[in-house]
Amino acid sequence: MKPVIALVGRPNVGKSTLFNRLTKTRDAIVADFAGLTRDRHYGDGRHNGVEFIVVDTGGFEPDSTTGIVKEMARQTRQAVAEADVVIFVVDIRLGLSVQDHDIARYLRTAQKNVLIAVNKAEGMSESPMLNEFHELGMGELHPISAAHGQGIRSLLDAALEGVEPESEDDEFGASAMDRPIRLAVAGRPNVGKSTLINTWLGEERLVAFDMPGTTRDAITVPFERDGKKFELIDTAGLRRKGQVFEAIEKFSVIKTLQAIADANVVVLLLDATQGVTDQDAHIAGYILDSGRAVVIAINKWDAVDAYQRQMLDRSIESRLAFLKFAPVINISALKRQGLGPLWKSIEDAHASANRKMSTPVLTRLLMEAVEHQQPRRDGMYRPKMRYAHQGGMNPPIIVVHGTSLDHVTDAYKRFLEGRFRDHFKLVGTPLKIELRSGR
Ligand code: GDP
Ligand code: GDP
């Protein structure tokens, strides 16, 4: 599971600036897409090969008892409870405040590993102002400048101490297809995650089995279906009841993000009666960022009429355009409809994400594509493609070699992507095309 770092502090100390700093270095699998709405509160970061999740809790006032502020405090508590490390951000220029003391008192009760980031410390890291913050009694102080990028490395070194980087090559081998398919059902509250999971786990053809020595702290339910092994990662709040599992409703964005990161295939569950909401689009954005294989399942299909179905198609087309590669399956978890096609799509998406593509075949396809349509000349430059090879799996990466390739247009890249997708029948997985120019 990816470690989670929560940023806590009163308003204006620089939390969102720090959030941007921690999340921007990450190399996104897919660049900016139209319609991709980003959630400014949850992001992915990477430091020394360790991937982590950052949560910006917004302005935090621990004692608020009313309205929106109370709701923010509740969300902050949840984020702190789920975090592995809390970075408590304070402002060296404003000094210690009553609010800082309140937050410190709260964090002590939360019994979390807390680091204090003393922000806006550019040119002031030796300042006596720093010592004031020792009063908080929360250990070592880390002077940083979120705006200027100072002190960030050592802050992250401390935050991620003892966390080992995940070995990435483990997916890039013959055995990826032999291991159980790790499956996560992601969706906002009430779309029907628990119902779907319970329906699955209640299916006769699906045999839950015990896996000895599971070291992960998240609940995963291993099961077999038609001779294929799966592991379901908890996103709906699974609870073991004797020999069976039961899903209980307890939505958490952090658990969803971790489950997505940990999965091979993500089922994005939507509610047909509600259309595509902002929260759905956010979750879809996390999935795109993760590079995971994905299938979109529209649940409660039994409860909508022809007109609503039409509207739904349109809202998926416009709001989830960036997941165009994902198959869309209509289901009813309640009435057990569409579940066969859903399984098939899950298996296809997994196979697509792990497809092996040989250099000769990729190169032949590349040459055929170029013959069909040349990349456009850009002023003095005429891009020339020479050969292609597979640079990775899960998601698949195709590396195209040639000269002047930085002059290839995005439209041409999409054209190539389409040709490769068609040939290898890639569905439900992102496909990354990398262009590399030699001399
Ligand atoms: P938040 O409310 O805690 O999320 O704070 P913001 O990230 O919005 O920052 C509040 C203000 O502090 C903005 O005007 C930032 O430009 C400024 N700020 C953030 N980090 C630094 C820093 O490292 N140095 C200085 N001098 N200003 C900063
Ligand atoms: P979760 O919060 O995503 O786990 O959603 P639940 O599984 O608790 O479902 C929320 C509500 O939607 C419940 O009242 C379910 O009975 C209902 N529901 C779930 N699946 C379906 C379906 O396929 N059709 C209809 N009509 N209702 C459903």
Widest Cα–Cα separation across the chain: 71
What count of Cα atoms within 13 Å lies in the side-chain half-sphere of residue 72? Answer: 18
pLDDT score recorded for residue 189 = 86
The ligand placed nearest to the CA atom of residue 268 is 2
Q: Which residue has the tokens 């997994």?
A: 350
pLDDT score recorded for residue 364 = 92
Test site for ligand 1: of 12, 119, 145, most ligand atoms within 8 A of the Cβ? 12
Q: How far is CA 34 from CA 113, 287, 322, in A?
A: 39, 15, 7
Strands 206-208, 220-225: pairing kind = antiparallel
Fill in the DSSP letter of residue 12: T
Q: pLDDT category, 228, cuts 50, 70, 90?
A: confident
Q: Is the CB of 338 under 6 A from ligand 2?
A: no
Given a cut of 80, is residue 244 above it in pLDDT?
A: no
8 A C-beta contact, residue 269 and residue 187: yes
Q: How far is CA 30 from CA 283, 314, 393, 423, in A?
A: 15, 23, 15, 21
d(CA 161, CA 157): 6
Return the SS3 of 225: strand
Given a cut of 80, is residue 30 above it in pLDDT?
A: no
Q: Mean of the pLDDT values across residues 102-125?
A: 90
d(CA 247, CA 238): 4
pLDDT tens per residue across span 112-122: 899 999 999 99
Given a cut of 60, is residue 236 above it in pLDDT?
A: no
Fill in the DSSP letter of residue 281: H
Question: Of all atoms in ligand 2, which is nearest to the CA of residue 191?
Answer: 3
Q: Is the CB of 143 under 6 A from ligand 2?
A: no
d(CA 228, CA 179): 9
Strand order through the sheet with 397-403: 384-392, 397-403, 432-437
Q: pLDDT category, 245, cuts 50, 70, 90?
A: low
Number of helices (H), then strands (E), belonging to the chain: the values are 11, 18
Given a cut of 90, is residue 284 above it in pLDDT?
A: yes
d(CA 190, CA 252): 13
Is the ipTM reported for this complex over the cut 0.90?
no
d(CA 244, CA 201): 8
pLDDT score recorded for residue 239 = 53
How far is ligand 2, taken at its centre, from the CA of residue 328, in Å? 18
Q: pTM of the prediction?
A: 0.75
d(CA 326, CA 358): 24
Question: Is 93 annotated as contributing to ligand binding?
Answer: no
Question: Is 60 annotated as contributing to ligand binding?
Answer: yes
Question: Is 11 annotated as contributing to ligand binding?
Answer: yes
The mean pLDDT value of the chain amounts to 84
Q: Is the CB of 57 under 6 A from ligand 1?
A: no
Q: Is the CB of 14 under 6 A from ligand 1?
A: yes
Among 63-72, 132-141, 160-169, the range scoring the smallest mean pLDDT is 63-72
d(CA 222, CA 210): 7
Question: Is 422 annotated as contributing to ligand binding?
Answer: no
The ligand placed nearest to the CA atom of residue 56 is 1
Test site for ligand 1: of 15, 16, 17, 124, most ligand atoms within 8 A of the Cβ? 17
